[in-house]
Structure 1
Amino acid sequence: MNRAEVERLRAATPGCASVIHFNHAGASLPSQATLDAILEQLQREALGGPMEAADQTIQARARTAAAKLLNSVPEAIAFASSGSAAWGMAFNALGPWQAGDRILIGRHEWGGNLACIAQAVGAGAQLEVIPCDEAGAVSVTALQQMIDPKVKLIALTWLPANSGLINPAEAIGAVAREHGIAYFIDAGQALGQLPCDVQALNCDVLKGAGRKFLRGPRGTALLYIRPGFMQRLKPTQLDVLSAPWDGDGFALRGDARRFETSEVSVALLAGLANALEECNGLGLAQIRQRIDSLSRDLRERLMTIPGLTLHNLGPADHQSGLIAFTLKGWDSVELKQRLAQGGVNIGANGVAYTPLDMQARGLESIARIALSYLNTEEEIEVLLGSLRELAGVGGD
């Protein structure tokens, strides 16, 4: 992705003119075309009636674009209000849980997923953490040694929220498939940042939010269900869309929309459809290359700031666009707020987001830079200058 292409994309993104945004892992900046798609649908609803303006082609566009992104089929895609809601619906549909059922997770599992799993543990299931390898990633070798007939689920957060780690999702999927074990991937930070091929990943369920690197609107999320796995999942909440009346009773749909309800924001799906199509048009290979180039350079330069400590995991040559750090003398939330006063957005995470990993590493909080292909070298210079100033250091 050359500079001219980056400038074109930035010019089509209103937020780039008003803020320096390094919080794409929290929520990214939408394009004007995405905003227009949402507003135009709302206008149609206001003028012609919300129900009457519910154009089914919008949902079809979004589903087709999501399927292309994941190398799947539209029938395998459901939409939800958040990634956590999507994961929770799929997890709860995998039950009922029995005493002795084993659930294997990585140490980096998202806190919201752990909250859902806690209910299964309350029913007698056993939650076990797969050991990490020397780089801090989930160890595939250790996982293989933990497999037995009682393992009912392997759950992986692919890209943790509190580090630049990229877990070996494909290798873990090969283990799960070999043993016929259900495999759930939380791809919240991966979608829109890395190529994501569900066929290669061998996952049964995958979820991700629309608002992050996909640059879609808040209140949207994707849920992929492998077609051959669909019948194993029995949703706990149904309505006339997910289980329509067939003349004799209410029958579950045979596609992923068994996890949807009849009430949906068509306007938000219009925005998501546009964001997905933009992402597909750019291609994940060049998106990944751009983010990787920016983040490698930034990590190296951050290490030169006295008092700044990086808290990333994984090999230095294979990390995501998330950079976790702390700055001596600064609380992470206060640091985020101080930078925001100067027009620079970053993120800050506490223990609740990734409790097992944060506790294992003795971290109470981290500040987080999350890069997008929209970011520029000039913005990075401003960020570094601000951090040096807050660290009490002069310029280069």
Structure 2
Amino acid sequence: MLDIAGLRADTPGCENQVFLDSAGSSLPPRAVVETTIAHLRREAEIGGYRAANERLDDLHGVRTVIAELINADPAALAFSDSASRSWSDFFYSVPLAPGDRILISGADYGSNAIAALQRARRTGAVVEAIPADGSGQLDLDALAAMVDERVKLVSLVHVPTNGGLVNPVAEATRIAHRVGALVVLDACQSAGQLPLDVAELDVDALSATGRKWLRGPRGTGFLYVRPELARSLEPGRLDLRSAEWTAPGDYVLSPDAGRFEFWECSVATRLGLGAAVRYLLDLGPAAVYAAIAERAEYLRKALQELPGVEVRDRGIQHAGIVSFIVAGQEPIQVRDRLAAADITVTVSHRSSTLLDMSARELNSVVRASPHCFVSFEDLDRFVGAVRALA
């Protein structure tokens, strides 16, 4: 059982507002803020290099706690500045040739789809979308019918950015692996709110961000790559962290996922990310995940009962994102009117998930995403405000 009073005391940002945007950029706990700021102050005192050298063990610890969270070998992790950067660095390292097929999820994120289309234009590969089934989640039967030996890469989205469904990743991965295709999982919206076990999911790569459900700083992210696969790939960009210059005309790649990492980084925010993951592990991930799910389901049921409000979540299993529209009002108007009442939500636009939103004839939806520090009094206040708008 989580101590809600303690959680809220650890999260000063929730004191004067109803915060429902952890799917965008969540409110960090005090430990994250203090860790990040303390290192920035230390850099101001002695310079960035000396300050980083003082924290070498702590920086290694960041890799260790993330590895614990997703059940991975620390050497299989690479840090970056975002989930998109992590996903792209892996995706652009996979060799493609004319006629190769790239399969993307029907709810794939705009950045992923754009990268896939660009590589298809450059290499002669083709991009195809896996349809959704009647519930809205990935259609496993359709995927099984689509895969053949020409499928080189399957892009799966665990939780889309525009709604609360959870895709059946492990099942889809098994289907893709039957033909030898690689699977990259976008866990941007699931890391920190759903269990992630890379051995159980059996994905070849996984990308995630720190700023959302993990409650870390912006400008942080990480990439997992299956160890034996990492050793066979060469990223499109290298530096002296990802490789070693061994002779005037030669270099040697890092032997593990470090080949996807660049030397320069924000040490302060990386330490902040480590503090965020430690905070989650100390609370107990299962308890946090259950609290998020409970709050999201509470909102879904309450909003479904409001006249003029339509919940637009699909899927069989639901995550912590609740998407909805209010009749006669643009989602941006709803967002701004709620903001005037000190209630923070956000809007998901068609361009972020073009295939899914176009199929459902939606231009945008309001997105509410409660974390475990949100009280049920906060949720009732939000529901009341939406009722007043509707």
TM-score interval (norm. to shorter): over 0.9
Residue 314 (str. 1) matches residue 315 (str. 2): yes
- Matching of residue 58 in structure 1 with residue 74 in structure 2: no
- Aligned match of 2:336: 337
Determine which of 32, 36, 39 is the counterpart of 1:38.
36
Q: 1:168 maps to what in 2?
A: 168
- In the TM superposition, 1:1-396 aligns within 5 A as 1-2=1-2, 5-54=3-52, 55-95=55-95, 97-122=96-121, 123-247=123-247, 249-315=250-316, 318-391=317-390
1:105 is paired with a residue whose SS is strand
Distance 1:331 1:323 in 2: 17
Q: Which residue of 2 is the match for residue 394 of structure 1?
A: none
Deviations 1:256-302 (A, max 9, x none): 11111111110001100100111122222212211121221211110
Letter in 2 for 1:309: E
Quote the sequence identity (%). Answer: 37
Structure 1 position 184, deviation (Å) = 0.3
Tell me, in whole angstroms, the C-alpha distance in 1 between the residues paired with 2:6 and 2:311: 32
Aligned-pair CA distance for 1:247: 4.6
SS at 1:309 equivalent: strand
Cα deviations by residue, 1:173-197 (Å, 9 ceiling, x for unpaired): 2222333210000000100000100
Looking at structure 1, the residues matched to 69 and 180 of structure 2 have their Cα atoms a distance apart, in angstroms, of 25
Contact 2:246–2:252 under 8 Å retained in 1: yes
Are the aligned partners of 1:83 and 1:208 in contact in 2 as well (CA < 8 Å)?
A: yes
What RMSD, in angstroms, separates the aligned Cα atoms of the two structures? 1.2
Structure 2 gaps, min length 5: none
> Any idea what the Cα deviations from partners look like across 1:112-170, whole Å, max 9, x if unmatched?
00111011220311111112212011111211111111000111111001111100011
Deviates more, 1:184-193 or 1:8-17: 8-17
Query: How many angstroms apart in 2 are the aligned matches of 1:215 and 1:314?
Result: 25
Q: Is the 8 A contact 1:94 1:232 kept in 2?
A: no
Q: Residues of 2 paired with 1:350 and 1:267: CA distance?
A: 32
Q: CA–CA distance in 1 between the matches of 2:289 and 2:28?
A: 18
CA–CA distance in 1 between the matches of 2:76 and 2:274?
16
Corresponding letter in the other structure for 1:336: R
Q: How many angstroms apart in 2 are the aligned matches of 1:182 and 1:59?
A: 30
TM-score (norm 1): 0.95
- Deviation (angstroms), 1:106: 1.3
Are the counterparts in 2 of residues 135 and 314 from structure 1 also a CA contact under 8 Å?
Answer: yes
Give the letter aligned to residue 98 of structure 1. A
Q: In structure 1, what residue type is equivalent to 2:218?
A: R
Separation in structure 1 between the aligned mates of residue 77 and residue 281 of structure 2, nearest angstrom: 16
TM-superposed CA distance for 1:246, in Å, is: 2.9
Specify the SS of the correspondent of 2:301.
helix
> Secondary structure in 1 aligned to 2:362?
coil
Structure 1, gaps ≥5 residues long: 392-396
Misfit runs of 4+, over 4 Å: none
Q: Distance in 2 between matches of 1:117 and 1:38?
A: 35
1:367 aligned partner, one-letter code? V
How far apart, in 1, do the equivalents of 2:258 and 2:59 lie? Answer: 11
Partner Cα distance (1:282, 1:176) in 2: 35
